[in-house]
Amino acid sequence: GAGVSQSPRYKVAKRGQDVALRCDPISGHVSLFWYQQALGQGPEFLTYFQNEAQLDKSGLPSDRFFAERPEGSVSTLKIQRTQQEDSAVYLCASSLGLAGGPLTYEQYFGPGTRLTVT
């Protein structure tokens, strides 16, 4: 079956522009995560959805970052008034089960969206 897909794969934005990054998780996956990966670093957690509920947004770096998953499937990460420090690869991951409990489910990652802010 299809894996996690993300679009666009590459995005160049001028500083101050708003951007929207899309994630299509694997069908039926309950949990959806967004991560930010700076060059040469490991991914860092941004936010987590369980179905349509955003249960954890502790990793969002500022109030310019906003994520939604209105129907519990596709998710959008929006960055308002982009800054150069927002340049990174944004990774989306989904998993079958509920996170935050004693069981751990494998997270399946999309290819990421590389955002460059000029």
Partner 1 sequence: SQQGEEDPQALSIQEGENATMNCSYKTSINNLQWYRQNSGRGLVHLILIRSNEREKHSGRLRVTLDTSKKSSSLLITASRAADTASYFCATDAWYGGSQGNLIFGKGTKLSVKP
Choose one: 15-23, 33-41, 67-75, 76-84; the region binding partner 1 (CB under 8 A).
Answer: 33-41
**Residue position matching structure tokens 């494998």:** 106
- Total binding residues toward partner 1, as defined by CB under 8 A: 30
Respond yes or no on whether the N-terminal peptide bond of residue 8 is cis (omega within 30° of 0): yes
User: DSSP secondary-structure letter at 114?
Assistant: E
Using rule CB under 8 A, residue 2 touches partner 1 = no
At 84, is the secondary structure helix, strand, or coil?
Answer: helix
CB contact at 8 A, 36 and 88:
yes
Q: Report 51-110 residues binding partner 1 (CB under 8 A).
A: 55-56, 58-59, 91, 93, 99-102, 104, 106-110
Nearer to partner 1, 17 or 87 (CB): 87
Among 23, 25, 26, 33, binds partner 1 (CB under 8 A): 33
Q: CA separation (Å) from 104 to 28, 69, 93, 108?
A: 17, 22, 14, 13
Site of interaction with partner 1 (CB under 8 A): 4, 31, 33, 35, 40-45, 48, 50, 55-56, 58-59, 91, 93, 99-102, 104, 106-112
